[in-house]
Amino acid sequence: MLDQVYRKAVLTVTSNPNVEKIVRARGKGLVKRFVASEDIPGVLRAAKELEQDGIGAILDQLGEFIDSPEQCNEFAQQVLDLIEQAHAQGVEPYVSIKLSSVGQGKTVNGEDLGLTNARRIIRKASEYGGFVCLDMEDHPLVDLTLAQFRTLVGEFGNKAVGTVLQSYLFRSLKDRDSLDDLQPNIRMVKGAYLEPETVAYKDKADVDANYRRLVYQHMKAGNYTNVATHDEKIIDDVKHFALIHDIPRDQFEFQMLYGIRRDLQKDLAMQGYRVRTYIAYGPAWYPYFTRRIAETPRNALFIVKGMLKG
């Protein structure tokens, strides 16, 4: 419960325009801990550095609250440019997109623009042997995102596109079960949005327990599972679960965020586990940055100390 109180307090404070102005003015240098760059060359440099330690990358261009169809198409084109440049530089074009950023819910020429642009992005990534993860947003968008995910898997296959489930939502276990026929590639996360208590667990112990259930069920079903957490206890439990159930290491991977527990990422890679780091980039970094601060008081303390020094 204290975790939820902390998260709500941080997200409430950081939503204040005056606070955002201060952070943008004085904390931009500190943002680099969590956001690799504001441009494509910078994020590809970060990906190459990770590759030297045997760690893969998930490339995510930040962009939320994009309104017009023209802006959505422009954002989609920027993701296509990222894929082209990644391939040209020898970086695997494994990208994450929010369907809302490329037009989800906007009808153009009789079809959902998000679905149209997702097709363009997946087609281009597949051309270069890449992968596209459809990120999950807050609960009102879950049904539409999963329906569109099902459509895209039917068109491109489960080796080309995956999605995300959030363990703090009550519904996620049923959602996972409903997708089993697709043998889907799913990234399991705890969830970072401020959700009402009618749809989400508020106690950390409940969120963690549901996270384990999601991961274990997905692994036992033979599906590729992306274990996205920095929680060492959960990581150790997943390693043990895989061992006793004879689940091969090429059926799952550990995923973490750029700027958080690089030591743990390197250690897991050295142990022979697949590891991938989620690298966010772009000028629209503030919403993502505030969610990272809200995850743990350690992150907030790091930012406050840095801003006071500045």
Asked if 17 and 165 sit in the same domain, the reply is no
Asked if 129 and 104 sit in the same domain, the reply is yes
Sign, CA dihedral 305-21-256-202, equals: positive
Clarify whether 143 is annotated catalytic.
Answer: no
Clarify whether 135 is annotated catalytic.
Answer: yes
β-strands 111-112, 107-108: how paired?
Answer: antiparallel
- Structural domain that includes position 47: 36-284
* Structural domain count, the chain: 2
Active-site residue (options: 187, 274, 276, 291)? 187
Sign, CA dihedral 73-117-42-88, equals: negative
Asked if 161 and 211 sit in the same domain, the reply is yes
Reading the block at residue 191, the tokens are 């969830």
Asked if 64 and 122 sit in the same domain, the reply is yes
Asked if 107 and 255 sit in the same domain, the reply is yes
Asked if 105 and 6 sit in the same domain, the reply is no
Asked if 192 and 118 sit in the same domain, the reply is yes
Asked if 211 and 236 sit in the same domain, the reply is yes
Tens-digit pLDDT profile for the chain (310 aa)? 546 665 566 555 556 676 556 555 555 566 667 788 889 999 999 999 999 999 999 999 987 667 899 999 999 999 999 999 999 999 999 999 999 999 999 999 999 999 999 999 999 999 999 999 999 999 999 999 999 999 999 999 999 999 999 999 999 999 999 999 999 999 999 998 889 999 999 999 999 999 999 999 999 999 999 999 999 999 999 999 999 999 999 999 999 999 888 999 999 999 999 999 999 898 766 666 666 666 655 555 544 444 344 4
Active-site residue (options: 135, 176, 274, 291)? 135
CB atoms within 10 A of CB 240: 10
| Full-model pTM | 0.86
Asked if 7 and 60 sit in the same domain, the reply is no
Asked if 82 and 180 sit in the same domain, the reply is yes
Asked if 25 and 135 sit in the same domain, the reply is no
Residue 162, H or E segment: strand 161-166
Asked if residues 176 and 184 have their Cβ atoms less than 8 Å apart, the reply is no
DSSP symbols for 13-77: HHTSHHHHHHHHHHSHHHHTTTEEESSHHHHHHHHHHHHTTT-EEEEEE------SHHHHHHHHH
Give CA–CA dist 128/167, Å, rounded: 32
Asked if 121 and 220 sit in the same domain, the reply is yes
- CATH number, domain containing residue 276: 3.20.20.220
